[in-house]
Amino acid sequence: MTGPDAAPARIDTSRPHPARVYDWWLGGKDNYPVDEELARRILAVDDTAVRGARANRRFMQRAVRAAAEAGVRQFLDIGTGIPTEPNLHQVAQGVAPESRVVYADNDPIVLRHAEALLTGSAQGSTDYVHADVREPGTILDLAARSLDFSRPVALSLVALTHYLSDAADGDDVHGLLKRYVDALAPGSHLIVSQVTPDLNPEAVGRAAELFARNGTPFHPRSLTEFARFFAGLRLLGPGIIPVTGWRPEPVDVAAQAEGIVPVYAGVAVKP
């Protein structure tokens, strides 16, 4: 377990954290009353929040399986979240036990639970980096201790980019993604999902406002803005699509029938 602040950091229970709010929506136990309160308030204005969290998790699993089945054996997952089975390494190593996985997140609660992410197969490896996605140099350097960046890597940023602002507001999410994608070898996969205002603008707007008022700036993005993440890459079928529609498996059909969730998803390959 590595990273600039890998010593146990204090968990702030005085304000909600996105990882813990998401954990509440997923039915997890690693959240505090402040998180539950915000999760419930968002759910009251956007009744897709629980379905959206589950749909994201399922998308991560399908996209990782697709990358592993395409032959990718290295995975870098930024914005990992609190462990929720099956975790990414379990999916990747389920296809290819020799898969090497590096997780990265900046929340102390994810660091505290990282042991659950470090229990991979004997043939493969898992590592955890405690760092912020806005420090690509740190994450890429530390990931390079177990990943070989001259070979394909699947980079997953699932339900992360809506916490990052555009260039004008400081984070430069598109510049950041370019920095990561530039570090990848041909054949690498980029797996991204994020909340959009296109599909349910009023509910998403109110949810974003609640996040922002509680200390987490939130940036839903249109289809055009989301598509920019994949500039220069070859999108895999079915392209950019609401998250439940990305290569659904039989188990996902019931979720699809419950209705659309305002989250775009896409997977692309670096030529």
Coil, strand or helix at 73: coil
Phi, psi of 103 (to 5 degrees): -105, 150
Q: How far is the CB of 167 from ligand SAM (least distance, A)?
A: 16
CA distance 81 to 200: 25
One of 3, 79, 242, 248 touching ligand SAM (CB under 6 A): 79
* Interaction between residue 35 and ligand SAM (CB under 6 A): no
Pick from 49, 111, 158, 261: which binds ligand SAM (CB under 6 A)? 158
Q: Are strands 263-269 and 74-78 parallel, antiparallel or unpaired?
A: unpaired
CA distance 197 to 206: 10
Min dist CB 107 to ligand SAM, Å, is 3
Q: Does 211 bind ligand SAM (CB under 6 A)?
A: no
229 binds ligand SAM (CB under 6 A): no
219 CB burial (10 A radius; 0-12, 13-18, 19+) = buried
Token pair of 76, please? 């870098």
Report how far apart, in Å, the C-alpha atoms of 235 and of each of 27, 230, 238, 260, 270 are. 32, 7, 8, 21, 9
159 binds ligand SAM (CB under 6 A): yes
CA distance linking residue 77 with residue 56, whole number of Å: 14
Told to check if 247 binds ligand SAM by CB under 6 A, we report no
Length of the chain: 271
Residue 133 Cβ, how far from ligand SAM at the closest point, in Å?
A: 4
Backbone angles phi, psi at 127, to 5 degrees: -140, 160
Closer to ligand SAM at the Cβ: 19 or 76?
19
The pair of three-digit structure tokens given for residue 229, joined into one six-digit string:
């993440």
Q: Is 81 in the site for ligand SAM (CB under 6 A)?
A: yes
Count of residues engaged in binding ligand SAM, rule: CB under 6 A: 20
Tell which positions 5-24 bind ligand SAM, by CB under 6 A: 18-19, 22
For residues 94 to 123, the per-residue mask of contacts with ligand SAM, x marking binding by CB under 6 A and - elsewhere, is -----------xxx--x-------------
By CB under 6 A, residue 62 contacts ligand SAM: no
By the criterion CB under 6 A, which residues form the site for ligand SAM? Answer: 18-19, 22, 56-57, 60, 79-81, 105-107, 110, 132-134, 158-160, 163
